[in-house]
Chains A and B, each alone.
Chain A
Amino acid sequence: MAGKFKNCITLCCTGKPSVVEDMATNGYTCDDAIEGLKKLLSEKSDLESVAAAKIKQLTAELEATDTNEFNPVERIQNGFARFKKEKYEKNPTLYGELAKSQSPKFLVFACSDSRVCPSHILDFQPGEAFVVRNIANMVPPYDTVKHSGVGAAVEYAVVHLKVEHIVVIGHSCCGGIKGLMSFPDEGPTSTHFIEQWVKICLPAKSKVKADCSDDVDFTDQCTNCEKEAVNVSLGNLLTYPFVRDAVVNNQLSLKGGHYDFVKGAFDLWNLDFAISPSLFQ
């Protein structure tokens, strides 16, 4: 440092201000930094491993800034800009009405899986469908302690919005259903939440295991379970009194669906049942 200072004075006096400016504004160059580090390490050699780790991290960070790094904020902003330009601004009547209120005809249960959004696969537009998405598109039975989230959504949709149709949509290669079919039915769980959650549709697993002969392979068993689990969920919907009432009064229909993204197919079925109103006093 002393050497540089001497140079600086000399250069100042010879009327060359550029070096002084450099030190005042740009200050430290990369070489200066390395020199400083070398000096520190020669004085305190126990810092070597610390310095090595930090240099490694810095190198990685600098390398990352070169590549086309995923920028989530940009992705979100660009996505919204596109929606605003191509949809929102082009349909002012629709979006003006929607801003005041929504009156969707559907309540849809779909899996959280990134490949099965109902807005994509059934082309639902804003205003059409009230949507619940969770692992393996499950509807648990009525339980104000354990399942208030799903309960609140069903209650709001049926009682407040008065939707006309509830559709529960399963899908191919569902990780949740595969887990249900693979996890042991009893014994300690290895996950905090996942096993406990998918066991909602344990009756579907039992049915599939009972119905399938030994030569049905695991993948086909899972496909059957995906569909049976939808039926279990539809049955669970009837444990909600407001759903039962609306169904009995012909104000609400329950449907099951299955989206197969391997074949590119969509199955849809009604839940037909005979309910005598007198049973529900």
Chain B
Amino acid sequence: MSNYLNNEATASTEIPRNENEVENANQTGLEKPAFDPIKRIEKGFQFFKINEFNKYPDYYRQLAEKQEPKFLMFACSDSRVSPTNILNLRPGEAFMNRNIANLVPAFNKLRYSDIGAIIEYAILALKVEVIVVIGHSRCGGIQRLLSLPDKKTSYDFIDDWVSVAKPAKEKVISKHPHASGEELQTLVEKESVMNSLVNLLSYPYVRTGLADKKLKLIGGYYDFVCGKFEILAVDSDIKPTIDI
């Protein structure tokens, strides 16, 4: 059923990463060598092994024994917003969930066990100190949410998932009835981060952590159009919306 291609990296020469190669791979062009995913993965791992893993053996030996990340981060699956890249994180710093539109749904054992398991493990087993939810510009998930209801196209999963952020959409529209286009989308992207932070409060271990002052919540927003990172909220800025 499966073929094993063993790729233990043994290269001894330093292989510098060519940023232009990445650039070329991302651009469309007329004459482009066929993309070889196996080579790409091999090269990537070799780069890491030579420039990181072999260079800092004590660091990686210690890490192999135990991880003690201070952060739990929620970020979008979008290929452009990896917190490791944009926040220059080191291995061992952040336990991470990546999902469409960096959403944190409220506590629900039936529907959202993936998110629940991450929060439960991060707080109870790893004892992280900070939970960060990072939104970003031009988010496809939020864009889809704004286009709902859509009578023409339907998805099996996407529309249902992004509706986790529906309270954020409704709040923005009621506060900014004349907003539209990119301005509206940015407002909802940011409000969705706040909504996710509020949803975090529905997990008992988050509430206990906050009450014991062992946990901090932070909301962030990465704008890759302008090249900015904004801190939207820290701890006490987070207030649950009151349902009337």
Contact = CB atoms under 8 A, between A and B. Distances in A.
B35 A72 contact: no
Interface stretch (A23-31, A44-52, A251-259): A251-259
Interface in A35-88: 70, 72-73, 76-80, 82-84, 87-88
A97 B22 CA distance: 12
Given A99-B138, A261-B64, A76 B79 contact: no
Instruction: Kindly list the 4 A-B residue pairs having the minimum CB-CB distance in the complex, ordered from nearest.
Output: A193-B116, A151-B157, A152-B161, A122-B44
Contacts of B42: 268
12 contacts: A76-B218, A102-B79, A105-B37, A114-B96, A121-B48, A123-B43, A131-B98, A135-B117, A198-B117, A231-B2, A261-B53, A267-B5
Given A131-B77, A264-B49, A76 B87 contact: yes
Nearest to A152: B161
From B4, B119, B234, residue with most partner A Cβ within 10 Å = B4
Interface stretch (A14-22, A153-161, A208-216): A153-161
Interface stretch (A3-11, A140-148, A218-226): A140-148
Interface in B31-67: 35, 37-38, 40-45, 47-49, 52-54, 60, 63-64, 67
A194 B2 contact: no
Classify chain B's interface size: 35 or more
Nearest to B160: A148
Contacts of B69: 114
A117 interface: yes
A152 B120 contact: no
Nearest to B204: A192
Interface of A: 70, 72-73, 76-80, 82-84, 87-91, 93-95, 97-99, 102-106, 112-135, 138, 140, 142, 144-157, 159-160, 164-165, 167, 172-173, 175-176, 191-194, 196-198, 231, 242, 253, 255-257, 261-273
B37 A165 contact: yes
Interface string B86-113: 1111011111111110010100011111
Contacts of B112: 149
A78 B86 CA distance: 10
A191 B45 contact: no
Majority secondary structure of chain A interface residues (helix, strand, loop or mixed): mixed
B183 interface: no
B52 A120 contact: yes
Contacts of B23: 91, 93-94, 97
Contacts of A79: 86-89
A113 B88 contact: no
Majority secondary structure of chain B interface residues (helix, strand, loop or mixed): mixed
B155 A126 contact: no
A263 B9 CA distance: 11
Nearest to A94: B23
Contacts of A151: 156-157, 161
Contact of B70 (A72, A104, A165, A266): A72
A99 B225 contact: yes
B63 A261 contact: yes
B135 interface: no
B114 A135 contact: yes
B227 A192 contact: no
B142 interface: no
